[in-house]
Amino acid sequence: MEFAELEKKTQFVFKNKDLLQTALTHRSYINEHRDYSLPHNERLEFLGDAVLELAVTGYLYQHFPNPEGELTNLRSALVNYKMLATVASTLGLDRFILLSRGEAKDQGRARQVILANALEAVIGAMYLDAGYELTHEFINRHILTQLPEIIQSGNYIDPKSRLQELVQEKSGITPTYRVLTEVGPDHNKEFLMGVFVEESKVGQGTGPSKQEAELAAAADALRTDEWKKHV
């Protein structure tokens, strides 16, 4: 596989190209190509996740005097799968990932998760290939540069935490969440969650997991201000 274009975009040239190719190899590809000589990228993803979290945590600690909870929210906004998938797409990673035919057709959240995982695997490969300093430079250039926009947009604020803070401030009540509907097979479920102030529903939202649907429900409650009628 020819990586010159990708290395130009990432501004990182690998000494060991097999590391990069491994980082871009999804488990599904190996299932269809039994004679493939390299492993899939899950171990590199595990390593890259830790390197990325250390780099982002260190940067936030050094540059922001915010309390721990706010720093955690900022970090989550930088390293969640949606943000990492966006960065991966900008770098053109999707054109290089080796996937099975079925996975290659997939779109939506599943595709975003694959992209995010591949980016973490690439970061792990960079760490093994060149060490922490050069990997940190990559993270600075392509991930930490997203921080000003995140702060300006307020996207780092967890809507569940914000809703709970506002409702408790007004009434002392803690919002609760309930599954309204659950559809689809186990590997592709869609949840509809409601958020309630006591017995009054103040918002609802959907997502592929209960956690994401709860976030969507809290965001809905904040957007409509329905919660204000019940505190």
The domain tally of the chain equals: 2
Chain segment 26-84, per-residue pLDDT in tens: 999 998 898 999 999 999 999 999 999 999 999 999 999 998 878 988 998 899 888 99
Report the 3 state secondary structure along 59-125. HHHHHCCCCHHHHHHHHHHHHCHHHHHHHHHHCCHHHCCECCHHHHHCCCHHHHHHHHHHHHHHHHH
Please determine, for residue 23, whether its predicted confidence score (pLDDT) is greater than 80: yes
Write down the residue that tokens 């990708």 correspond to. 6
User: Do residues 1 and 21 make contact, with C-beta atoms less than 8 angstroms apart?
Assistant: yes
Residue 184, SS3?
Answer: coil
Angle between helix axes 42-63 and 68-79 (nearest 10 degrees) is 140
Same domain, 112 and 216: no
The domain that holds 212 is classified in CATH as 3.30.160.20
Specify whether 9 is located in the same domain as 114: yes
- Shared domain for 72 and 127, answered yes or no, is yes
Picking from 153, 175, 208, the residue at the C-terminal end of a domain is: 153
From 132, 153, 174, give the residue that closes a domain: 153
- What is the SS3 assignment for 204? strand
Can you give the pTM of this predicted structure? Answer: 0.76
CATH number, domain at 126? 1.10.1520.10
Instruction: Show which residues are catalytic.
Output: 49, 120
Enclosing domain of residue 118: 4-153
Answer yes or no: do 13 and 63 share one domain: yes
Task: Indicate if 140 and 180 belong to the same structural domain.
Answer: no
- Could you give the CA distance from residue 6 to residue 97 in angstroms, rounded to a whole number? 11
Residues 20 and 87 in one domain: yes
Residue where a domain stops, chosen among 122, 153, 184 = 153
